[in-house]
Amino acid sequence: MSHTHPDLAPPGPLAPGALRIVALGGLGEVGRNMAVLEYEGRLLIIDCGVLFPEDHQPGVDLILPDFDYIADRMGDVEAIVLTHGHEDHIGAVPYLLRLRQDIPLIGSQLTLAFIEAKLKEHRITPRTRAVKEGQVERFGPFETEFVAVNHSIPDALAVMVRTGAGNVLHTGDFKMDQLPLDGRITDLRAFARLGEEGVDLFMTDSTNAEVPGFTTAEAEIGPVLDAVFADATQKIVVASFASHVHRVQQVLDAAYAHRRKVAFVGRSMVRNMKIASDLGYLHVPEDTVVDIKQVDDLRDDELVLMATGSQGEPMAALSRIANRDHRVAVGPGDTVIFASSLIPGNENSVYRVINGLTRLGAKVVHQANARVHVSGHASAGELLYCYNIVKPRNVMPVHGEIRHLVANGALAVKTGVPAERVVLAEDGVVVDLVDGKARIVGAVPSRYVYVDGSSVGEITEAELKDRRILGEEGFISIFAAVDSATGAVVAGPHIQARGMAEDESVFDGILPKLAEELTSAARGGATDTRQLQQVMRRVVGRWASSRLRRRPMIIPVVVEA
């Protein structure tokens, strides 16, 4: 299996008649999924999603793919194919369309409805084309055929891309639930037919490649939810992704069976469920859904709140409820259900919210203590079936952390795909399909692009490091005035600290030493205020390190008097 390498050089020009694939996100992380296919000078983009920040990225709202690779080639983009409506596949579309608004967006009815609602908030009116499974569409030199796949959101699609250089089958996110709630199974007959035609590169979802066996059917969740609802004596709060239509359907059905009303909490939840209901993907039992404003008129044992925040996001409804910063209050006797899996990296945030809710007296039901969620991704057993059915010539695992990609590649090898034909790439690695063989030919930049409030891409890794230091180590500012002629200290030095556990009197011991060093430096010819600031930073930095065992951010200010 050919691995990526950190020292890869930029790729050379694409050979005539070859196909180039560059993943700008989703390879090495769970999220930010985006692949760019190039053939005959034209580009086709598959998905354009976001990654959600972790604790070590303070102040960041979203993380986007790095569009620099295609920024000066936006005129070459034929279309953006969206496999399904989850944020990690569509969330970055508004930011890409800022570079060129009229790129056609291709996807299923529900996927396009979700992205159109999102784009309305960005004041962008997109060009869209709705497609269904079995449909064949041509975009420049790319012929695409869409295949029904089952996932944790309705209307998900895989896509077969046919080019003169070969055929690429991209699964999107999928699993092989044989008893799906909407009756729409992953179309393995289509996979087999495409396999017979010839799949030169199979790009497969790796998220659950380490999990043995088969992913549990969604249908098994219903009875568990029903039992939790039967036991609940007061209000029930269910947390889920704002786009998990199947899970919301099960909550609505359980609420109806137990004569409870459901209120949607959170702007994205309200918006998405209205769209799903209007389009017929969500069937709302009669007289079951109420507006959040009406909840005060209902008894606690009549109420179910369907909220966002299942990943512990600080601003989502559930975190705010746990912090008593929401109109909805949770207390003893209430039941909270986490109806989603843990995205890697979010564990601490989620357990912090679970602990907060438990402290308030709520009974918290989550994946670790009840089967209230099943994954939306194919486990190892399902992936083996797919490899045997499709019989691809080359395999490129996508969507997952490095360990997931490696595990997926190993499954392909087990089914007979030659190891040298399994391409393990990371974000930015360039893969060319030439004469039926896929190989790594270089890499392009694919840095994290941070959205921070209204700024996009302004925050750098260095600034995030500064934020972490401020948050973890504290901040010290030092002020001194020196005589411009003699260099003698005429005022100060004064020290102010923030985020330090110690009382400010702790600095009394360093002030004489600081004044002494400043005077000494000035007498030694250091009259430039920048040199004197460096002296102050060095003296206080060493002292803080040895005396306080801290490495705070130090801002020295020297003025001439």
375 assigned binding-site residue: yes
Please tell me what DSSP assigns to residue 546. Answer: I
373 assigned binding-site residue: yes
The Cβ of residue 502 has, within 10 Å, a number of other Cβ atoms equal to: 13
Q: Which among 24, 65, 18 has a CA at the least distance from the CA of 41?
A: 18
Instruction: Give residue 360's identity as a one-letter amino acid code.
Output: L
Calpha distance 245→276 (Å, rounded): 7
Could you give the strand order of the β-sheet that contains 303-307, starting from the edge strand earlier in sequence? 289-290, 261-265, 303-307, 236-239, 335-338, 363-365
Calpha distance 173→141 (Å, rounded): 25
Q: Which among 50, 145, 153, 163 has a CA at the least distance from the CA of 106?
A: 145
- Interaxial angle between packed helices 188-197 and 380-390, expressed in degrees from 0 to 180 and rounded to the nearest 10: 40
506 assigned binding-site residue: no
Return the exposure string of 397-433: e unless at least 16 CB atoms fall within 10 Å of the residue's CB, then b: bbbbbeebbbbbbbbbbebebeeebbbbbbbbbbbbb
Calpha distance 299→310 (Å, rounded): 25
86 assigned binding-site residue: no
The three-point CA angle 324-328-330 to 5° equals 65
What is residue 334's three-state secondary structure? coil
Calpha distance 48→56 (Å, rounded): 24
Calpha distance 335→22 (Å, rounded): 46
Q: Which among 347, 336, 320, 343 has a CA at the least distance from the CA of 370?
A: 336
Pairing of strands 104-107, 77-81: parallel
Q: Which among 480, 505, 491, 500 has a CA at the least distance from the CA of 555?
A: 480
61: tokens are: 């709202």
Calpha distance 394→172 (Å, rounded): 17
Longest CA span, the chain:
88
Calpha distance 204→212 (Å, rounded): 16
100: tokens are: 């060129």
Calpha distance 384→411 (Å, rounded): 6
Calpha distance 72→70 (Å, rounded): 6
283 assigned binding-site residue: no
CB 308 within 8 A of CB 273: no
How far is CA 526 from its chain centroid?
51
Calpha distance 444→168 (Å, rounded): 21
Q: What share of the chain is helix, strand, coil (3-state, %, to 5)?
A: 35, 25, 40
Please tell me what DSSP assigns to residue 220. Answer: G
Binding-site residue numbers for substrate are: 373-377
Binding-site residue numbers are: 373-377
